[in-house]
Chain A
Amino acid sequence: EVQLLESGGGLVQPGGSLRLSCAASGFTFSNYAMTWVRQAPGKGLEWVSLLGGAGGATYYADSVKGRFTVSRDNSKNTLYLQMNSLRDDDTAAYYCAKALMTDSVRAFDHWGRGTLVTVSS
């Protein structure tokens, strides 16, 4: 059974940093691209970042480019999101999700329950 478990969320002041983790199990982690999607309270889904399965290609939303860094440790089956220079509008639940197939990013078929990041002074 595929499981994704995010952690690392919490309360942080504007300008601060936080690192999110997503522990994966139940599939060959290194074969799949992984993504981060966030959802501000009461709002819709916003794609944040994606990292290819082999840890090569990375992609970011314009709203986080230069501030967030996605990475993975395939030996630990874990995806990370390093978030720096946090702003109030980064407040959201952050979900990690697994790509549907190994050969392309068609869609995301398994999602974690999310971890809440609150940026506030």
Chain B
Amino acid sequence: IVLTQSPVALSLSPGERATLSCRASQSVGTYLAWYQQKRGQAPSLLIYDASNRATGIPPRFSGSGSETDFTLTISSLEPEDFAVYYCQQRANWPLTFGPGTKVDIK
């Protein structure tokens, strides 16, 4: 399953809303996760099963969608949210990641 993320990059200011998209080449149900990766760090889990926040993730992060279309929304960007975001499906083997969306400071 191929995951496509859009946009490739997003330039926003702190306090603005970020909307990131992940599209699957075939249905993955709700078997989709979102990860954040800051420069020089390992990825960290944000959302699993399309809409469940992982432990310790603040409510400004939310996930939605099913089948082939998914969205990660950051309601009001904090300075620490500028990073690269990846989606990942676990519906079929092999597991796959999307190419990522970079959110940087405008």
- Chain A interface residues (CB < 8 Å from chain B): 35, 37, 44-47, 50, 59-62, 95, 97, 100, 105-109, 111-114
Residues of B within 8 A of A107 (CB): 33, 45, 48-49, 54, 88, 90
Residues of A within 8 A of B100 (CB): 44-45
Given the known interface contacts A106-B33, A107-B88, the answer about A61 and B94 at a Cβ–Cβ threshold of 8 Å is yes
Asked whether A114 lies within 8 Å of B54 as measured between CB atoms, the reply is no
Q: Give the size of the chain B interface in residues (CB under 8 angstroms).
A: 24
**Alpha-carbon distance A44/B99, docked complex (angstroms):** 6
- Chain B residues touching A, majority SS: loop
Asked whether A100 lies within 8 Å of B48 as measured between CB atoms, the reply is yes
Asked whether B93 lies within 8 Å of A59 as measured between CB atoms, the reply is yes
Residues of B within 8 A of A112 (CB): 42
Residue of A nearest to B31 (CB): A106
The contact of B43 among A50, A59, A95, by CB within 8 Å, is A95
Asked whether A45 lies within 8 Å of B90 as measured between CB atoms, the reply is no
**Alpha-carbon distance A114/B96, docked complex (angstroms):** 19
Binary contact readout B70-106 vs A (1 if CB under 8 angstroms, 0 otherwise): 0000000000000000101010011111111000000
**Alpha-carbon distance A113/B100, docked complex (angstroms):** 19
Asked whether B43 lies within 8 Å of A62 as measured between CB atoms, the reply is no
Supplied contacts A59-B95, A107-B48, 15 more A-B pairs, CB within 8 Å: A37-B97, A44-B86, A44-B100, A45-B88, A47-B94, A47-B96, A100-B54, A106-B49, A106-B90, A107-B45, A109-B48, A109-B54, A113-B41, A113-B42, A114-B42
